Amino acid sequence: MLRQIEGSRAVAEAVALCRPEVIAAYPISPQTHIVEALSALVKDGTLAPCEYINVESEFSAMSVCIGASAAGARTYTATASQGLLFMVEAVYNASGLGLPIVMTVANRAIGSPINIWNDHSDAMSQRDSGWIQLYAESNQEALDLHLQAFRLAEEVSLPVMVCMDGFVLTHAVERVDVPSQDEVDGFLPAFAPRQVLDPDDPMTIGAMVGPEAFTEVRYLMHAKQMLALDAIPRIADAFAQAFGRDSGGLVRGYRLADADTVIVGLGSVLGTIEDVVDDLREQGHRAGALAVRCFRPWPLDEVRAALGTARRVVVVEKAFAVGAGGIVGQNVRLALDGVAAAPRVHDVIAGLGGRPITSASLHRIVADALEGRAGRTTFLDLDTGVVERELRRSREDPRPGPHAENILREAGIAGGGPR
């Protein structure tokens, strides 16, 4: 049924339709509306049987999910930003144990400086955690990906993160098609755990493993992610058949067929990117876009096929590897390794801490790329003057004070001017 609702509400209803049996939650913006809505659905009996646990930390949220999943319950939590980092030890443990937990990550920046707005620093920090990572472009896709995530997680016995841009999606009210319970029940089979804590068949889960077998056990995580590369498009196809719309999958191309300039992105920024592509097309450029919908496992073949014939690739990413450069860009280069006349890849770090990614700025960086002026790594809309003055202060003043406060003072946001 088509409804005009907030993204968080859509996700909460999608999760409820998946009939989770245990939900553990800790509040953190911008994820909070999701678990607030779920708490009400459990409390008023709409979602039953389901246990809703108000935990004392994100570390315990994931730990409760680990226990519940190991006991054979379909299990869900949601987090963001610092919360995701606080649960990291348990995040790795869940994937190591192969527990099919589904978690929404309402993407948000990581401090310091503390910042509650959207970027992808949180989820990208967990790219090697062993979790499958899906990125939603819209609220409809966020809803759809949750239905697919439970099926995927339980099929390959790995946990799945559904990443959706904080505020941009979670707090946006737009039209969403919310399926019926019967439709979801027809798509998502009951959870049949691969391993379960059962007094009638007692097993030890989480034993210590030394060098004699550790490599093999860890390799299995990798092997299962590789299997997910087949499962993800298959489940997306099944979803399209059941619900009549395309959602999920590994990648999605936009006007790619003859494109020699391709902009790559993840999540909600694809809307802006597609507008820029349309403008470029009108200007006579052969431009296209590639949405990476699944970042882990990395769809290397699909990315290679989509980008291999391009001449230049601009990767717009809302996170970066400090001291190295782009994260998605590095993966794109990996996909293009060995391609004859491979395109030049430009990493564009954009939208950090909620800074808007405007089509004007994207046009500028694409123009730079077209004219051979773009470097390997660009920080979009970076105020270089501010940065250089702060670097000079750091060189000249033995105690220049904290960077963030100095820059805010200089920008006139905090009083007094730089120290």
Partner 1 sequence: MSRPRVKFEQVGTFAVGNRLLDPDQRTVQADRARSNTLTSGHRACQGCGEALGARYVLDAAMRASRGRLIAANATGCLEVFSTPYPESSWQLPWVHSLFGNAPAVATGIAAALRAKGRDDWRVIGQGGDGGTVDIGFGALSGMFERNDDVLFVCYDNEGYMNTGVQRSGATPPAARTATTQAVGDHPGNPFGQGKSAPLIAMAHEIPYVATATVADLHDLEDKVERAMEIRGARYLHVLVTCPLGWGSASRDTIRIARLAQQSGLFPVFEAERGDVTSVARIRRPVPVEEYLRPQRRFAHLFAPTLRSDVIADIQARADRNIARFGLLDDPEERA
Calculate the alpha carbon distances from 251 to 245, 261, 267 in Å.
15, 17, 11
Nearer to partner 1, 49 or 401 (CB): 49
Cis before 299? omega within 30: no
Q: Which stretch binds partner 1 (CB under 8 A): 8-16, 71-79, 222-230, 350-358?
A: 71-79
Residues in contact with partner 1, shown as a per-residue x/- string from 178 to 207 under the rule CB under 8 A: -------------------xxx-xxxxxxx
Nearer to partner 1, 189 or 375 (CB): 189
For the segment 90-109, give every residue that binds partner 1 (CB under 8 A): 90, 93, 97
Q: Which stretch binds partner 1 (CB under 8 A): 21-29, 147-155, 255-263, 332-340?
A: 21-29
Nearer to partner 1, 64 or 306 (CB): 64
Angle (deg, nearest 10), helices 270-282 and 359-370 = 50
Which 3 state secondary structure label does DSSP give 157? coil
Concatenating the DSSP letter of every residue in 221-278 gives HHHHHHHHHHHHHHHHHHHHHHHSS---SSEEEES-TT-SEEEEE-GGGHHHHHHHHH
Which of 42, 161, 127 is closest to 317 using CA atoms? 127
Give the one residue of 15, 70, 316, 348 binding partner 1; rule: CB under 8 A. 70
- Residue 291: count other Cβ atoms within 10 Å of its Cβ: 23
Angle (deg, nearest 10), helices 384-396 and 403-410 = 130
Nearer to partner 1, 69 or 247 (CB): 69
Give the one residue of 51, 155, 275, 278 binding partner 1; rule: CB under 8 A. 51
Regarding 356 and contact with partner 1 (CB under 8 A), the answer is no
Nearer to partner 1, 71 or 227 (CB): 71
Nearer to partner 1, 74 or 312 (CB): 74
Give the one residue of 36, 39, 67, 253 binding partner 1; rule: CB under 8 A. 67
Cβ contact 104:146 at 8 Å: yes
- Smallest gap from Cβ 219 to partner 1, in A, equals 15
Residue with tokens 């790795």: 92
Residues that bind partner 1 (CB under 8 A): 21-22, 24, 49-51, 53-57, 59-60, 63-73, 75, 89-90, 93, 97, 197-199, 201-210, 212-213
